[in-house]
Amino acid sequence: MNSRSKSYVHGTGAEPLQALTVGDVLDRAAAAFPDHDAVVVPHQGIRWQWKDLRREARALGAGLLAQGLEPGDRVGIVAPNLAEWVAVQFGTAYAGLILVNINPAYRVSELEYALTITGCRAVIAVPAFKTSDYVAMLNEIAPELASAVPGRLRSDRVPELDLVITLGDAEHPGCMRYPDVIAAADRAQLARLGVIAAGLDADDPINIQFTSGTTGTPKAATLTHHNIVNNASLSAGIMKFTADDRLCVPVPMYHCFGMVLGTLLCATRGAATIFPSAGFDASAVLDAVETERCTALHGVPTMFIAELDEPNFAGRDLTSLRTGIMAGAPCPVELMHRVMQEMHLTEITIGYGMTETGPLSTQTSIDDPPELRVTTVGRALPHTEIKIVDEDGDIVPRGVPGELCTRGYCVMRGYWGDPARTAEEIDAAHWIKSGDIAQMNEAGYLAIVGRLKDMIIRGGENIYPREIEEFLYTNPKIDEVEVFGVPDDKYGEQVAAWIRLKGGERATAEEIQAFCKGKLAHFKIPYYIRFVEEFPMTVTGKVQKFVMREQMAKDINGVGPL
């Protein structure tokens, strides 16, 4: 097999890698576009220009130093999409503090795990959001908080946690308020902040994000300035972002999609970030696009489906939209066609990657033919290597499915405090495994076939759920579908499908199976079909197939989860 026929590619591009810190990026944006919108948050009534964001971020960073924090200390954040999140993102970066993104959906045990494994010295939290009371959770984890002097917490369960900061004006025992941290930024601390920021190295770790695995405890992926700054900038270049762009960000900030491909990406070009709501709300997204004349929109597929399904969608003026990224989960071909045609997102791109690659490895181009933009996840980003390997780790020929692996500037430092898990995922040559099955065509475009763990093996036949899902999306009655395997005594596994029909439609399992006959191989036709109104999901909009698999196995066999 010659080198050109191998499923290996090294992405190239005109934009060089940059040795910049996250703080450098904000400094450049504020210098070039001081009076341009930087962060717009309608639900808070906040509109910060780049000079305003820089001032707020510097004050926050200096205020944290005033509380005794030192470069390299970890600072957790538990909050939905608020303007303060962006100030914390850049303010901690100025001070060389490592920001730990904590999922607001975490419960007490998960929050304690996140704080403990990373050794957070401080945590910044919104007091409450929806049904979650974070102050109550922190008091449960650290009962000593109620009687502690703010900044001097001494807890048995979280021994390294000294400081709890709450967003907003309300006072809570043992906690310091965000406005008071800002107020502590005197001239001496601001001067010290400047010295620290100037001395930071682009290869320093700056962000820890937890991967949302379906088994075991979450892994703390540790990313550097170099990882995320370059990933954000290269993606911005692919979408041809300028300071005139206005990006609507409904995806959560605690995830790479929000904080790297959202706020940081905008900062690399001086573009504006608009948060339509604290948590995802389809109507609020459409409101923000209309009112703020957004030119770009990000989202996972389920978000775009919800926006298209809004009752008053047809009356919306979305003509300002141009581009954006759909990622975070497999993007159905039919959905991409609808988004491009009905939402005016003619230049929307599909991105693929993982938290550990900060996050993108591949992305389609706005100049790619529509067919490639709806059937592939694009080509390797510049300065990024991709290979597809078999079970033995050997590179497969082009067109042959295998596991996708990535190498380059974007690959994380490792999992915080967990060298064993790091070694399992990153080999000696610094390739990181994705767990995804992909194919590479002759032009270097990649198609994700499925997850290694999701692959169904029925009677010795390998079945990729994605293929069946894409076919079922061609049924005009189907709005959303997920395919997975369930245990079977005879075949090992059988194909199951959960289907959500479009509003007003009706169908039977027999009808769906008849639709498949003659068009799919008999062993690929779903044996079990369930019609549902919703799917179990993570807060980032990723469907949890393992939950569906467990529920179906229980219902079929009358026993507990696998």
pLDDT category, 3, cuts 50, 70, 90? low
Query: Greater confidence, 489 or 351?
Result: 351
Query: Greater confidence, 547 or 499?
Result: 499
Which strand ranges, in their side-by-side order, compose the sheet holding 360-363? Answer: 46-49, 37-41, 272-274, 246-248, 296-297, 323-326, 347-353, 360-363, 379-380
pLDDT of residue 216: 55
Residue with tokens 């393992």: 546
Please determine, for residue 171, whether its predicted confidence score (pLDDT) is greater than 80: yes
Q: pLDDT (tens digit, 9 = 90+) per residue, 283-337?
A: 999 999 999 999 999 998 889 999 999 999 999 999 999 999 999 777 788 889 9
Alpha-helical runs (H) found in 212-277? 225-238, 256-258, 265-269
Q: pLDDT (tens digit, 9 = 90+) per residue, 514-545?
A: 999 988 878 899 999 999 999 998 766 678 88
pLDDT category, 561, cuts 50, 70, 90? very low
Q: pLDDT (tens digit, 9 = 90+) per residue, 242-255?
A: 999 999 999 999 99
Beta-carbon-side half-sphere exposure of residue 255 (alpha carbons within 13 Å):
24
pLDDT of residue 41: 98
Query: Greater confidence, 561 or 83?
Result: 83
What is the percentage of the chain residues whose pLDDT exceeds 70? 96
pTM score of the predicted model: 0.86
How many helices, marked H, and strands, marked E, lie in the chain? 18, 29
CA distance 85 to 260: 13
Query: Which among 81, 317, 77 has a CA at the least distance from the CA of 207?
Result: 77
Q: Helix 225-238 and helix 22-32: axis angle, to 10°? A: 40
pLDDT category, 215, cuts 50, 70, 90? very low
Strand ranges in 8-61 using DSSP code E only, listed in sequence order: 8-10, 37-41, 46-49
pLDDT category, 214, cuts 50, 70, 90? very low
Q: Could you give the domains of the chain?
A: 22-33+45-210 (3.40.50.980), 456-557 (3.30.300.30)
Q: pLDDT (tens digit, 9 = 90+) per residue, 20-42?
A: 999 999 999 999 999 999 999 99
**What does the pLDDT average to over 146-168?**
97
